[in-house]
């Protein structure tokens, strides 16, 4: 009598393997940006009007030169009251953070989540060929995580192991 295999049907190895979730697939591309010559008052008005907590500062060539946030504006507001200086006399270039950390658009969203946790930042700009092309926020990472809906987190990040 011949021996029968009890393994049953075999799945193809790479047929249904999930693809890694990339930052560029979840980043925002329609950004509210600021210019270095704008007043802090204009920034505060834009932050309130658009319900955002900050944004990238770009030059005329769309190159990222800084980030301005609610905290930067609050600092200016506090100092202006202390020194009795009107808010409209200060510009973005004087208040923005110039040493900006960016994220690669091809980075896995789970690596980006770790970067958010380590840096305590709310957003990271994405630059390609010297130009600002988008921004990823903590909320964007949460949206990516929700889209997995119970899939194994490790299966999206470990390919071929």
Q: How is the chain split into domains, by residue range?
A: 23-149
**Model confidence at 158, in pLDDT bands (50, 70, 90)?**
very low
The CA–CA distances, whole Å, from 44 to 35, 39, 55, 56 equal 13, 9, 11, 14
For residues 85-100, one letter each, b for 16 or more C-beta atoms within 10 angstroms of the residue's C-beta and e for the rest, the string is: eeeeebbbbebbeeeb
128, 104 Cβ separation under 8 angstroms: no
pLDDT digits (tens, 9 = 90+) for 14-26: 545 556 789 999 9
What ranges make up the beta strands (E) of the chain?
Answer: 54-58, 64-69, 123-128, 131-137
pLDDT at 161: 39
pLDDT at 75: 87
- Separation of alpha carbons 139 and 122, rounded Å: 9
Closest alpha carbon to 145 in 105, 112, 115: 112
pLDDT at 47: 96
**Model confidence at 160, in pLDDT bands (50, 70, 90)?**
very low
- In this model, does residue 134 exceed pLDDT 90? yes
Q: What's the average model confidence in pLDDT over 121-145?
A: 92
Q: What is the DSSP string of 60-77?
A: TT--EEEEEEHHHHHHHH
CATH 3.40.605.10 corresponds to the domain 23-149? no
- Residue 139: phi and psi, rounded to 5, are -65, -40
Beta bridge partners of 67: 56, 97
- In this model, does residue 152 exceed pLDDT 50? yes
pLDDT digits (tens, 9 = 90+) for 25-51: 999 999 999 999 999 989 999 999 999
pLDDT digits (tens, 9 = 90+) for 79-128: 766 566 665 568 999 999 999 999 999 999 999 999 999 998 888 999 99
* pTM to 2 decimal places: 0.74
């Amino acid at each position: 009598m011949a021996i029968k295999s009890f393994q049953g049907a075999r799945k193809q190895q790479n047929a249904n393997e999930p693809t890694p979730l990339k930052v560029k697939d979840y980043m925002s591309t329609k950004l509210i940006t600021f210019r270095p010559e704008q007043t802090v008052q204009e920034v505060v008005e834009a932050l309130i009007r658009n319900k955002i907590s900050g944004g990238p500062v770009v030059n005329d060539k769309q190159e990222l030169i800084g980030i301005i946030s609610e905290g930067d504006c609050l600092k200016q507001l506090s100092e202006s009251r202390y020194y009795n200086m009107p808010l409209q006399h200060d510009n973005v270039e004087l208040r923005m953070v110039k040493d900006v950390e960016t994220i690669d658009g091809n980075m896995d969203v789970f690596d980006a989540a770790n970067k958010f946790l380590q840096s305590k930042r709310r957003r990271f700009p994405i630059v390609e060929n010297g130009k600002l092309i988008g921004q990823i926020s903590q909320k964007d990472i949460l949206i990516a995580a929700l889209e997995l809906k119970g899939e194994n987190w490790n299966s999206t990040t470990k390919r071929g192991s």
